Chains A and B, each alone.
Chain A
Amino acid sequence: MEPTTAPNKPQFSPAAQAEIKRLLTHYPEDRSKSALLPILHIAQAEFGGWVSPEVQDLVAETLKIKPIEVYEVSSFYTQYNLKPVGKHVLEICRTGPCMLRGSDELTAHLERITGAKVGGTSPDGTFTLKEVECLAACGFAPIVQVREKYYEQLDTPEAVDAMLNELKGLVHRPILPWEETGLPNSLKNY
């Protein structure tokens, strides 16, 4: 009998497969496990902003490693979301330098206007709020990261509104092949 594929088993898109193939050329042949972190990033971008156990199994299969080798990594690094998330995940930096420039106030403001609590998603599924540690842009605090973009100097309601309006206009789609999502202002106007 032919083995049957589970109907909901995830598969990488051709673009993702091509990117994975390219990544694997970066490491010695017997060290392909090195590509685990970058492939998990691709998987998260492909499958709705989080990595389900099924998606992690797919990653294990792709790299010919045991699923536990993927689980122990995905649970160690904070960027991988292990539960479903909203359309946009707002990662708010909460560390010292951002706190000095108002990250507590920013978090409270974002909770108020998005209807989401930190660690949760707004009722309409648009925004997930997540507090993260230092994003290394301390001179432009306070900061929020959304996917590949940093939104900086969010110390006025207007700046926050501009970010949210920009996000509302974005359609969630896989970011492969990698698109340039735009640089934060601090890198444009040095």
Chain B
Amino acid sequence: MGRKLLTEHINVEGINTFEVYRKHGGYRSVEKALKTMTPDEVVEEVKKSGLRGRGGAGFPTGMKWSFLAKPEGVPRYLVCNADESEPGTFKDRQLMSKLPHLLIEGMITGSYALGARTSYIYIRGELLYVLRILEKAIAEAYAAGFLGENILGSGYSLDLHVHPGAGAYICGEETALLESLEGKRGNPRNKPPFPAVQGLYARPTVVNNVETIAAVVPIINEGGDEYAKLGVGKSTGTKLISACGHLNKPGIYEIELGVPVEEFIYSDEYCGGIWKGRDLKAVVAGGSSVPILPKELILKTAAGENRLMTYESLSDGGFVTGTMLGSGGFIAMDETTCIVKNTWNFSRFYHHESCGQCSPCREGTGWMEKVLHRLEHGHGSMHDIDLLVSVAKQIEGNTICPLGEAAAWPVAAAVRHFRHEFEWHVTNPKEATAPGAAYRGAAVLA
């Protein structure tokens, strides 16, 4: 069993209340930081921990924090990205509902490190019930003197608010999120300027994922070096994996980075294997944006090494034979899954969620959805398969935010590894479009 730094007490009765959370060691990081550390020392510990952004991009958190501009007399902000909406990802909802004080504690310690006096948690609008849980917990933290004026007599003051979105995947992109927090459409901003210089209300701002902020708590409690001892290489600490799709035990698992993928899928400690006694066909390992891999390549790298749940191991082989850890949204598909249908579904998602600002994304996502729709329904041609790859290539790198890549990568990877299945939809349309039909031939592994 690996160590659990975030979810150790998640099953404790009443852990959502301040009293019980405090009894189990809650808010120690705030006491330690505010009473014994300077803000820069907190940043330093986070740097030492090797913590990388848990929202999907995996950027080193300490470095992101150190980029924050600090002009005199100008307010700066810490904003928590709780707009969890990458298909396959559902860890933050669980963390916030069950352990609201863990996020609040991380927000206080993080805000102190960054010198923020007002901080926000931006939560997706569908989770209003979780917003209420957070607001209740925030009220408790104010009452206990951990928020508000002069926290613990340290002279440091902080206000913390929760702000709901209203249904838009794009608001998970940090500049779209800031636009939305300002009461506007969620259109991503052109960069530079980066949020670290001009973010919320054109003030210096850091945006971090829920899990990233929560991880600051054990890092400050135990020290960055201790945290960095967990995991493998540059993948330090623990990660919440949202496991879904055709698994016997879908759910949220906190793993020490470095668990072999095979163990994660098949062992009873984690997902307990593929449902209904079926065989695994493919996995999308890090949320719907990352390249899909056939069974052979998700279990072992092209060089034949065991694939591990780390940033490095999952991306071994680049986008030819590898993928990404991403947000940790782990979607398993059994042998009866139609890859063409699944790719069409994801393309429809990205088309629906494109904000429409950049032509390559606005037009390209719609185009890919249409082509995939006709392939899936037996009206496609061989030329369509190459067309898909060509459109994907023309979106990638030509948009101001990563939604373009997020839409292009899954399509390109599906065609790369499952081209035979796409071709089968063209050559055998009747068979391929029969209810429940799925291609059982071999995948392309190189």
Contact = CB atoms under 8 A, between A and B. Distances in A.
Determine if chain A interacts with chain B: yes
A79 B128 CA distance: 12
Contact of B128 (A33, A41, A187): A41
Contacts of A149: 129
A26 B163 contact: yes
Contacts of A100: 244-246, 331, 333, 337, 342
Contact of B166 (A80, A137, A190): A80
B132 to A, nearest CB: 6
A89 B342 CA distance: 26
A71 B128 CA distance: 22
Interface residues of B, number: 60
Contacts of A190: 10-11, 94, 98
Contacts of B67: none
Interface in B87-113: 87-90, 92-94, 97-98
24 contacts: A34-B181, A41-B164, A73-B184, A73-B185, A77-B168, A79-B166, A96-B331, A97-B245, A100-B337, A134-B88, A134-B349, A135-B126, A136-B89, A136-B126, A138-B88, A138-B89, A138-B250, A178-B132, A181-B129, A183-B97, A183-B129, A187-B97, A190-B10, A190-B11
Given A73-B183, A136-B127, A138-B331, 20 more contacts: A33-B183, A36-B183, A73-B185, A77-B125, A94-B345, A95-B288, A95-B345, A95-B346, A97-B87, A133-B85, A134-B85, A136-B124, A138-B244, A139-B242, A139-B252, A141-B244, A148-B129, A178-B132, A186-B94, A190-B10
Interface of A: 26, 28, 31, 33-38, 40-41, 63, 69, 72-73, 76-80, 94-97, 99-101, 132-141, 145, 148-150, 178, 180-181, 183, 186-187, 190
Interface of B: 10-11, 84-90, 92-94, 97-98, 120, 124-129, 132, 161, 163-169, 180-186, 201, 242-246, 250-252, 284, 288, 329, 331, 333, 337, 341-342, 345-346, 349, 352-353, 355
